[in-house]
Chain A
Amino acid sequence: MSELYDIVASSAFWIAVLRIATPLIFGTLGVLLCERAGVLNLGIEGIMVAGAFTGWLAVFQGADLWTGVLVAAMVGALLGLVHASLTVWLGVSQHVSGLGLTLLAASLAAYAYRVSFPTVSSPPTIEAFAPLEALSAVPLIGPALGAQTAMTILALMLVPIVGWTLQRTPAGLAVRMAGENPAAVEAQGLSVLAVRTSAVMAGSALMGVAGAFLTLSAFNAFFFNMVNGRGWICVALVVFASWRPGKALLGALLFAAFDALQLRLQQSSGLLPVTLPYQLYLMLPYLLSIVALVVMARRAAYPQALMKPYRKGER
Chain B
Amino acid sequence: MTRSIRRRLLATGLALAASSLLPFPAAAASKIKVAAIYTVPVEQQWVSRIHKALEAAKARNEIDYVFSENVANADYERVMRQYAESGNTLIVGEAFAVEAAARKVARDYPGTAFLLGSSGKAQAPNFSVFDNYIQEPAYLTGMIAGGISKSGKIGMVGGYPIPEVNRLMHAFMAGALEVNPKVSFTVSFIGSWFDPPKAKEAAFAMIDKGVDVLYAERFGVSDAARERGVLAIGNVIDTQPQYPDTVVASALWHMEPTVSAAIAAVRAGKFVAEDYGKYSTQRFGGASLAPLGTFEKKIPAALMAKVKAREKAILEGSFIVKVVETEPKSN
Contact = CB atoms under 8 A, between A and B. Distances in A.
A224 B194 CA distance: 8
A226 B237 contact: no
A12 B193 CA distance: 25
A128 to B, nearest CB: 9
A123 interface: yes
Interface string A236-268: 000000000000000000000001100110111
A223 B70 CA distance: 11
Interface string B279-297: 0000000000000000000
Interface stretch (A93-101, A178-186, A190-198, A213-221): A213-221
Nearest to B227: A131
A19 B201 CA distance: 9
Contacts of A115: none
B197 interface: yes
A278 interface: yes
Residue of A10, A114, A224, A275 ringed by the most chain B CB atoms within 10 A? A224
Interface in B177-218: 186-198, 200-202, 204-206, 208-209
Nearest to A11: B208
Contact of B188 (A214, A221, A260, A266): A266
A183 to B, nearest CB: 44
Contacts of B192: 225, 228
A263 B209 CA distance: 12
Nearest to A22: B197
A123 B40 CA distance: 13
A142 B200 CA distance: 22
A258 B43 CA distance: 31
A267 B330 CA distance: 7
B65 to A, nearest CB: 13
A223 B194 contact: yes
Interface residues of A, number: 35
Residue of A10, A120, A218, A220 ringed by the most chain B CB atoms within 10 A? A218
Interface string B208-237: 110000000001100100000000000001
A70 interface: no
Contacts of B155: 267
B195 A225 contact: yes
Contact of A282 (B191, B209, B237): B191
A224 to B, nearest CB: 6
Interface string A87-115: 00000000000000000000000100010
A26 B47 CA distance: 34
A122 B205 contact: no
Contacts of A214: 197
Contacts of B220: 219
Given A263-B202, A267-B209, A122 B197 contact: no
A16 interface: yes
Given A123-B219, A226-B194, A278-B188, A269 B331 contact: yes
11 contacts: A16-B205, A114-B69, A121-B43, A218-B200, A225-B192, A225-B195, A226-B195, A226-B197, A267-B202, A268-B209, A278-B191
